Amino acid sequence: MIVLTGAAGFIGSVILQKLNEKGITGIIPVDDFSKKIKEKNYTGKKFIRKVNRDGFFSWFDKHVNEIEMVLHIGARTDTTEFDMTIFEKLNINYSKEIWKRCAGNNIPLIYASSAATYGSGELGYSDSHHIVNKLKPLNPYGISKNEFDKWVLKQKDTPPFWAGLKFFNVYGPNEYHKGRMASVIFHAFNQIKTTGKVKLFRSHNPKYKDGEQLRDFIYVKDVADVILFLMDKRPGNGLYNLGTGKARTFTDLANSVFRAMGKKPVIEFIDTPEDIRDKYQYFTQAEMSKLKNAGFANEFTSLEKGTSDYVKNYLAGHKYY
Distance CA 100, CA 222 (A): 29
**3 state DSSP class of 44:** coil
**Which is more confidently placed, 30 or 282?**
30
Exactly one of 45, 46, 178, 263 is catalytic; name it: 178
User: Which of the four pLDDT bands, split at 50, 70 and 90, describes residue 281?
Assistant: confident
User: Which of the four pLDDT bands, split at 50, 70 and 90, describes residue 77?
Assistant: confident
Cα–chain-centroid distance for residue 166?
8
Domain 2-171+216-246+282-301 has CATH 3.40.50.720: yes
Give tens-digit pLDDT for 144-201.
999 999 999 999 999 999 999 999 999 999 999 999 899 999 999 999 999 999 999 9
**3 state DSSP class of 167:** strand
The residue extents of the domains of the chain are 2-171+216-246+282-301
- Annotated catalytic residue 321: no
The mean pLDDT value for 82-97 works out to 88
> Residue 79 pLDDT more than 80?
no
Distance CA 310, CA 145 (A): 28
- Annotated catalytic residue 136: no
Which pLDDT score is estimated for 84?
A: 83
pTM score: 0.95
Distance CA 69, CA 14 (A): 17
User: Which of the four pLDDT bands, split at 50, 70 and 90, describes residue 313?
Assistant: very high
CB 28 within 8 A of CB 3: yes
Distance CA 99, CA 96 (A): 5
Which pLDDT score is estimated for 185?
A: 97
3-state helix, strand, coil in the chain (%, to 5): 45, 15, 40
Distance CA 256, CA 311 (A): 10
Exactly one of 42, 141, 310, 314 is catalytic; name it: 141
Quick one: residue 183, left, alpha or beta (phi over 0 = left, psi -120 to 50 = alpha)?
A: beta
The mean pLDDT value for 41-52 works out to 98
